[in-house]
Amino acid sequence: IFVSNRDDYHAHLKQLGKVHRSFFGIYYPATALFEISRFFQDEALIEIEGLAVIGADE
């Protein structure tokens, strides 16, 4: 997860946790948080990068 304001992200962890649980339940994958100075789009506040692997039998 890339954020422009780490303190703001931490201040909203409770709300973010509720949203996360509504989609993923109690499963919480490994996550890294990076505070960066700017995004490509000036109005962006957060960017999420993900990777998914589907088994060969699916």
5-40 pLDDT, tens digit per residue, is 999 999 999 999 999 899 888 887 788 999 999 998
According to the model, what pLDDT value does residue 3 have?
93
According to the model, what pLDDT value does residue 12 have?
95
Residue in the structure block whose two tokens are 């789009």: 41
Give the residue with greater pLDDT, 51 vs 8: 8
Domain ranges of the chain: 2-47
- Is the predicted pLDDT of residue 54 greater than 90, yes or no? no
Residues whose CB is less than 8 angstroms from the CB of residue 10 and which lie 6 or more positions away in sequence, other chains included: none
The closest alpha carbon to 52, from 16, 15, 27, belongs to 27
According to the model, what pLDDT value does residue 2 have?
93
Per-residue model confidence as pLDDT tens digits over 34-44: 999 999 898 99
